[in-house]
Amino acid sequence: DVKVTQSSRYLVKRTGEKVFLECVQDMDHENMFWYRQDPGLGLRLIYFSYDVKMKEKGDIPEGYSVSREKKERFSLILESASTNQTSMYLCASRLTGGGGYTFGSGTRLTVV
Amino acid sequence: ILNVEQSPQSLHVQEGDSTNFTCSFPSSNFYALHWYRWETAKSPEALFVMTLNGDEKKKGRISATLNTKEGYSYLYIKGSQPEDSATYLCAFDSGTASKLTFGTGTRLQVTL
């Protein structure tokens, strides 16, 4: 069964901490994405990557960075966590050329 | 930022009722329209990817239609069951960089 795996289901971090959210896919997909989901706002794209070492800003990249050193792994980094980054974070991957996303199960991050 | 809207925001129906929701999206630069079902504590699951104007897709009791000229899609559930309770997301695909723009979702609750 193909999978997108996010390393943590729940995380609690302190304001100012550097936070790493990890995502690994086993489908050899070129494209990987990080979204956050907030009530009433839907899924908003933070960053995406269409190849190793390539990254593109999404709609809300401020306060985040990403890393894609290997095809299967896409990391989201909160440089200095703030309370307004408390959210559900979803990773997804997709083949170039069509088809839908395959999503991870999400990481619920709380910044206190 | 593209505007993808879903209505209603939430819906509460009785078991056996049939229901439908709407997704509206830009009619220009259209490549595909995706529907996902997101159950609590699970990953969003792909339902349909629709590309052609007039397309109709069906999966069990769930079906969807597409009108690309006027920019809307309907999702129908016939004879709702409690296991249909989920958030239903639509996503606009412009074919650019493989990224999707999501609506805010319709949260469906089906009770006995």
Whether residue A30 is predicted with pLDDT greater than 80 in this model: the reply is yes
| Burial call B33-42: b when 16+ CB within 10 Å, e when fewer | bbbbbbeeee
Asked if A106 reaches chain B (Cβ–Cβ under 8 Å), the answer is yes
Are B99 and A33 an interchain contact pair (Cβ–Cβ within 8 Å)?
yes
Find chain A residues with C-beta within 8 A of B44's C-beta. 90, 101, 103
Chain A residue nearest residue B10, CA to CA: A40
> Are residues A42 and B105, on separate chains, in Cβ contact within 8 Å?
yes
Q: Which of residues 52-81 of B touch A (CB under 8 A)?
A: none
pLDDT tens digits, one per residue of A55-89: 999 999 999 999 999 999 999 999 999 999 999 99
B112 at A interface, C-beta within 8 A: no
B4 closest CA partner among B70, B95, B71? B71
Residues A88-98 have pLDDT tens digits of 999 999 988 77
| CB-CB under 8 Å, A104 with B43 | yes
Does residue B107 carry a pLDDT above 90?
yes
Nearest CA to CA, how far is B45 from chain A (Å)? Answer: 7
Q: What is the mean pLDDT of residues B41-61?
A: 94
Q: How many CB atoms lie within 10 A of CB A48?
A: 25
Q: How many inter-chain contacts (A to B, CB under 8 Å) are there?
A: 57
Residue found by looking up tokens 């908003």 in the block: A44
Give residue A2's pLDDT band: very low, low, confident or very high (50, 70, 90).
Answer: low
For residue B45, the chain A residues in CB contact (below 8 A) are 103
Which of B98, B102, B107 should be substituted to probe chain A, the one whose Cβ sees the most A Cβ atoms within 10 Å? B98
B9, B46, B104 member nearest A101 (Cβ): B46
Predicted confidence (pLDDT) at residue B90 exceeds the cutoff of 70: yes
Q: Which residues of B touch A90 (CB under 8 A)?
A: 43-44
B98 has a pLDDT exceeding 90: no
DSSP for B58-75, written as a single string: EETTEEEEEETTTTEEEE
**Of B99 and A11, which is predicted with more confidence?**
A11
Average pLDDT of span B76-82 = 97
Task: Give me the mean pLDDT over the A42-47 stretch.
Answer: 94
Q: What phi, psi does B111 have (nearest 5°)? A: -115, 160
The pLDDT tens digits of the residues spanning B12-37 come to 999 999 999 999 999 888 999 999 99
Which residues touch A75 (CB under 8 Å, ≥6 apart)?
Answer: A20, A21, A22, A23, A66, A67, A68
Average pLDDT of the residues in A3-23: 95
- Is B93's pLDDT higher than 80? yes
